[in-house]
Amino acid sequence: MDEHEFTGSESPADIVKAAIESFARQPHPAHYTVFYENSIPKLKYEFQGGDIDFACIYRLDLMLASFYPEAERIFDEANAAGFVETSLREYLVPVIAFVGMTNMLNRLLIAN
């Protein structure tokens, strides 16, 4: 994983930012670019081949923020099943969210 150590005091926006920063530091094919437009993180995918020129821009903050409630649900289900203790919620939800968000970002590379 990355060098991120979460304390449990992070907001969903903090986790989104950490996931984007981690993803942006990884090597990517040249046709993928992480950039900011008016402080909004975005990923641009470009394709040029034959008669086709294509560009797609993903707004990363909104896309990733939607996963945070899913991370909370995942923890709650694991807790209800007795796999984790309630006291770990504030620490594990950010980790689950971070892993899920970075996974979502990496899947964008596979999908294209």
pLDDT at 27: 87
The whole-model pTM stands at 0.85
What secondary structure, in 3-state letters, does the chain show? CCCCCCCCCCCHHHHHHHHHHHHHHCCCCCCEEEEEECCEEEEEEEEEECCEEEEEEEEHHHHHHCCHHHHHHHHHHHHHCCCCCHHHHHHHHHHHHHHHHHHHHHHHHHHC
Query: For the chain, what are the domain ranges?
Result: 12-111
pLDDT at 2: 47
Residues of the chain predicted below pLDDT 70: 1-3, 111-112
